[in-house]
Amino acid sequence: MSALASSERITISDQTVKDARDTVIPGGASLVLRLADGEEVELPTSIQQTLLHALKLIAQQGSVSIGQLPVELTSTVAADLLSISRPTLMKWVAEGRIGSYKKGSHTRFNRDEVLDLRQRNAAARRSAFEELRSLDEEHEGFLAD
């Protein structure tokens, strides 16, 4: 393996990035550990998804960062995860679009609720885009140059 490991960071070589780009993973594939005696142990689905996603990001961007978010998020982190400004996040709190709670004088957010909202927002964007594409196909000649 051409990677340098420390307690917190793994640095990969250019060859590893090239190998990631050259690796073709067919749909329906699964990741397994092959033990020294030849026995194969299939990895849990969540680990497979994480590793495959990491491989995809290495191939696309040459790097990946993996970490776990804390259960309790600050408003700045929550806003960053939602790709919105902090004032917009606080507006959403006032509108009841997302829940929050106070820890002392600071507003905090539940990680799972933020990630769920991020997923719902992404699904809504995809749906709106598909609707726009469909509308564009229906009216192809309308805006033609």
pLDDT tens per residue across span 111-130 = 999 999 999 999 999 999 99
| DSSP count for the chain of H helices, then E strands | 5, 7
pTM of the model: 0.62
The radius of gyration computed from the CA coordinates of the chain, to the nearest angstrom, equals 21
CATH 1.10.1660: which residues of the chain?
A: 72-138
CA 67 – CA 74 distance, rounded (Å)? 17
pLDDT band at 6 (very low <50, low <70, confident <90, very high): very low
Whole-number Å distance between alpha carbons of 104 and 96? 21
Could you report the per-residue pLDDT of 19-71, keeping only the tens digit for each?
A: 999 998 888 888 999 999 999 999 999 999 999 999 999 999 998 888 889 99
Q: Which tokens is 101 given?
A: 């709670």
Instruction: Say if domain 72-138 classifies as CATH 1.10.3470.
Output: no
Per-residue pLDDT at 77: 96
